[in-house]
Amino acid sequence: MTDDKALMNRRHFLAGTTTTLALAGTPLSVLAQARPIRIGWTAWSDAEAVTNIAKLILEQRLAQKVELVMTDVALQYAGLERGQIDLMLMAWLPGTHKAYYDKVKGTVEDLGALYTDAKLGWAVPADIPVATLKTIDDLKKPEVMEKLGGKIQGIDAGAGLMKLSEAALKTYGLDYKLLTASDAAMVSALDRAIQRKQWIVVTTWSPHWMFSQYKLRYLEDPKQALGGAESIHALARKGFSADFPAAAAFIRNLKISLADLEGVMLKARDSNAAKEAAAYVASHGEQVNRWLAAAGK
Dump pLDDT digits (tens) for 30-55: 544 578 999 999 888 899 999 999 99
Task: Give mean pLDDT, residues 118-129.
Answer: 96
Structural domains of the chain ordered from first start: 27-118+229-293 (3.40.190.10), 119-218 (3.40.190.100)
Range 144-164 average pLDDT: 92
Residue 294 pLDDT class (50, 70, 90 cuts) = confident
Residue 4, pLDDT > 60, answer no
Residue 245 has pLDDT above 50, yes or no: yes
Strands (E), 155-206: 177-179, 202-206
**Residues 138, 104: Cα–Cα separation, whole Å:** 40
Residue 273 vs residues 44, 46, 161, 224, 264: alpha-carbon distances, Å: 11, 9, 24, 33, 8
